[in-house]
Chains A and B, each alone.
Chain A
Amino acid sequence: MKPDARGYFGAFGGRYVPEVLVAALEELEAAVDLAFADAAFWAEYHRILGEFVGRPSPIYATTRYAHDVSAAPLVLKREDLNHTGAHKINNTVGQALLARRMGKKRLIAETGAGQHGVASAVVGAKFGFPVDVYMGALDVERQALNVYIMQLLGATVHPVTGGTQTLKDATNEAFRVWAAQVEETFYVIGSVVGAHPYPYMVREFQRVIGDEARAQCLERYGRLPSDVIACVGGGSNAMGIFAGFVDDPSVRLWGVEAGGDGLETPRTAAALGAGSVGVLHGSRSYLLQTAQGQVRDTHSISAGLDYPGVGPEHAYLKDSGRATYVPITDTQALEAFHEFARCEGIIPALESAHAIAFARNLAAERGPDDLILVNLSGRGDKDLAQIRAL
């Protein structure tokens, strides 16, 4: 669905930003509408995804994982095989093309673990844009390798020392920098969050995952999946794969949030499962917050899911009942990570390991006529130092 004229999916979305950014959001919205109606824009986007990113990514049926509990085929959408190792680049290619079309001179981006920062640095290098990446000072320390990769690609990484020094503060800072240099700067947001039109635009740049997967399932299996599963932090890989199936009522959609230590503890990142409705980073959605409306500190073993908010379209899908959101704890995700690596010969990202863990639980309730599709949103190389140190 397209959000309404004010950028709402039902009761969620909108624009909660300083006035100084409104002109830029309106300019972007107009550029998005023109580009999305232009076949030449999409042709170039898909050409780059083919030649540079390696799309289409295959679907692949697991050979051993969860086969002990279920006869339902478990099929992976292999976003881990993309250039840079995750789905993030589908979005940064699209936004860089828009930035070029709009005549913008430089890109800025926020990043948590560094995956979106790397994907932004890659398109900056490819398209010749200077890139400034804002990253919490704590994350800069924890993700030294990604900082080095971004620098290698020519981007400048700015450690953000305010607040909790993590992704939410990096996002605040990127908004502030954008406000100061709004006329020539394109802000490349990394997920389906932010003020309208970002949640819609980023979903449209990620829907290639779902569109491909739908056609691949029909071709290979002659039917649609019974269930589609994806992990949800901000929610871009999930919105991308859901977009291919949201209009197929028989397909159940499952978003897997980071439970952390558990929803009943303060150490969680499950905004939909444990949060309430509020406003963060430009839109109205679910949010982990205190009774006084302060954003809460979050926790997940997976840096890419460790975000206190969630995209507004997910809030809409939750409240409308079209998608169901479930938590997976750190412990469950780690178990699935190891089990999956040994059974399939694929090391998943810790984010994706949450989806994989839930897939096993669900598979136990499904039979041979069902078909479970899991978005393997990224590969786990980036997580190896962390897991090795546990």
Chain B
Amino acid sequence: MRLTELFAELRREKRPAFIPYLMAGDPTADATVAMLVMLRTVGADIVEVGIPYGDPLADGPTIAAAGQRALAHGGGVAQTLDIIAKASPASPPIVVFSYFNPLLQYGFERFAREAKRAGAVGVIVPDVILEEAHSLQSALAAEGLDMPLLVAPTTAKARAARICAQATGFVYVVSRLGVTGAGSTPDFTPLHDQISRLREVTTMPLAVGFGVSNVGHVKDVAAHADGIIVGSALIDAYAKSAPEDAVAAVQAFVTPLIAASRA
């Protein structure tokens, strides 16, 4: 199913998409596969699967450390595609999250072809802006893969309109200044204004990420957005447990969040 159809269906159900983020290969490749399958059984709507990268400019310490752990045991583009291929028949729709350089080295056409074959539906690249997105986006589009683009609190309205017009699947709304991470409690009041302003320039689904980490945040964001992305807090939930307990830890963490997103 294409992402736009999925969001249209959720809109009819009057609820936002719940979108957890996993780091491919952390704590192990098998655990990532098991988490992806589990996430469908508990009702996640889409999953972002991160390709580990050693220099993640847009990520805070939690996701950076998860990436380092995954790289230490063979993580990267090839392992991520392998994980997606194993999990995708039984997982929610998968959107790959990758920094630009690993995709550039893999080759855009080759990556698009193999990501499609593995069962992914889209690709998000946090260090590619509107002006640099074209060549990758065309390669992905040729395989029917979406490429959501990001808007930030600093993005001016006219630029946001251009980003929303070029994004496919959905628009990733960065909730605050800075990088990913649970950390301090965000004040979502400016976010609500940001979403209202975006609604004036686009009908694209708007999914919110960065700093969304508990039931209260999910309820707050769910009232305004079409999607809720939870990453660092999910990784924090299993990072201290043994690898064999990680799937259960993630399940225990996301279950109340999913319920909150549907309340």
CB neighbours of B163 from chain A (8 A) = 19
The answer on a CB contact under 8 Å between B152 and A278 is no
CB neighbours of B174 from chain A (8 A) = 18-20
A89 at the interface (CB under 8 A from B): no
Alpha-carbon distance A180/B174, docked complex (angstroms):
12
B216 at the interface (CB under 8 A from A): no
The answer on a CB contact under 8 Å between A19 and B150 is yes
Alpha-carbon distance A294/B154, docked complex (angstroms):
29
- Please encode chain B, from 143 to 175, with 1 for each CB lying within 8 Å of some chain A CB and 0 for all others: 000000111111110010001000000000010
The answer on a CB contact under 8 Å between B77 and A293 is yes
A6 at the interface (CB under 8 A from B): yes
The answer on a CB contact under 8 Å between A279 and B100 is yes
B9 at the interface (CB under 8 A from A): no
Partner of A6, one of B68, B71, B131: B131
The answer on a CB contact under 8 Å between B77 and A179 is no
CB neighbours of A176 from chain B (8 A) = 57-58, 60, 178-179
Complex interface residues of chain A between 240 and 294 (CB less than 8 A to chain B):
278-282, 287, 289, 291-294
B104 at the interface (CB under 8 A from A): yes
The answer on a CB contact under 8 Å between A23 and B100 is no
Complex interface residues of chain A between 175 and 227 (CB less than 8 A to chain B):
175-176, 179-183
The answer on a CB contact under 8 Å between B55 and A163 is yes
Complex interface residues of chain A between 12 and 28 (CB less than 8 A to chain B):
14-24
The answer on a CB contact under 8 Å between B155 and A295 is no
> How many Å from the CB of B243 to the closest CB on chain A?
22
Q: Which of A14, A15, A17, A279 has the most CB of B within 10 A?
A: A279
B231 at the interface (CB under 8 A from A): no
CB neighbours of A180 from chain B (8 A) = 177-179
The answer on a CB contact under 8 Å between A163 and B177 is no
Complex interface residues of chain A between 148 and 198 (CB less than 8 A to chain B):
162-163, 168-169, 172, 175-176, 179-183
B128 at the interface (CB under 8 A from A): yes
CB neighbours of B55 from chain A (8 A) = 163, 168-169, 172, 280-281, 295
Considering only CB atoms and an 8 Å cut-off, how many residues of chain A contact the other chain?
36
CB closest residue in chain B, given A15: B129
CB closest residue in chain B, given A27: B154
CB closest residue in chain A, given B78: A292
Partner of A292, one of B105, B128, B154, B177: B105
> How many Å from the CB of B85 to the closest CB on chain A?
17
Partner of A17, one of B57, B65, B177: B57
Partner of A278, one of B105, B154, B178, B179: B105
CB neighbours of B186 from chain A (8 A) = none
Partner of B127, one of A17, A181, A289: A17
> How many Å from the CB of B204 to the closest CB on chain A?
15
> How many Å from the CB of A161 to the closest CB on chain B?
9
Alpha-carbon distance A181/B153, docked complex (angstroms):
12
CB neighbours of A181 from chain B (8 A) = 177
The answer on a CB contact under 8 Å between A20 and B152 is yes
The answer on a CB contact under 8 Å between A20 and B154 is yes
CB closest residue in chain A, given B60: A176
B43 at the interface (CB under 8 A from A): no
CB closest residue in chain A, given B172: A19
CB neighbours of A18 from chain B (8 A) = 57-58, 126-127, 150, 152, 174, 179
CB neighbours of A280 from chain B (8 A) = 55, 101
The answer on a CB contact under 8 Å between B105 and A293 is yes
The answer on a CB contact under 8 Å between A16 and B178 is no
CB closest residue in chain B, given A196: B131
Alpha-carbon distance A168/B55, docked complex (angstroms):
8
Complex interface residues of chain B between 102 and 122 (CB less than 8 A to chain A):
102-106
Alpha-carbon distance A22/B160, docked complex (angstroms):
12
B190 at the interface (CB under 8 A from A): no
Alpha-carbon distance A172/B53, docked complex (angstroms):
12
The answer on a CB contact under 8 Å between B129 and A172 is no
Alpha-carbon distance A14/B179, docked complex (angstroms):
21
Partner of B68, one of A14, A163, A182, A289: A163
CB neighbours of A15 from chain B (8 A) = 129, 131-132
Alpha-carbon distance A6/B126, docked complex (angstroms):
18
Alpha-carbon distance A214/B247, docked complex (angstroms):
66
Alpha-carbon distance A169/B56, docked complex (angstroms):
10
With A175-B57, A278-B105: A16-B128 Cβ-Cβ less than 8 Å: yes
With A176-B60, A294-B76: A19-B177 Cβ-Cβ less than 8 Å: no
CB neighbours of A182 from chain B (8 A) = 154, 177
CB neighbours of B61 from chain A (8 A) = 162
> How many Å from the CB of B246 to the closest CB on chain A?
22
Q: What are 14 contact pairs spanning A and B, CB under 8 A?
A: A18-B150, A18-B179, A20-B153, A20-B177, A24-B154, A172-B57, A180-B177, A180-B179, A183-B154, A278-B104, A293-B77, A294-B54, A294-B76, A294-B102
List chain B positions with a Cβ less than 8 A from chain A: 53-58, 60-61, 64-65, 68, 71, 76-78, 100-106, 126-129, 131-132, 149-156, 159, 163, 174, 177-179
3 closest Cβ contacts across the A-B interface? Answer: A180-B178, A293-B105, A293-B102
Q: A23-B156, A163-B55, A281-B57 are in contact. List 20 more A-B contacts (CB 8 A).
A: A16-B100, A16-B127, A16-B128, A16-B132, A18-B179, A20-B154, A20-B155, A22-B154, A22-B159, A24-B154, A163-B54, A169-B55, A176-B179, A180-B178, A183-B154, A278-B104, A278-B105, A279-B100, A280-B55, A282-B127
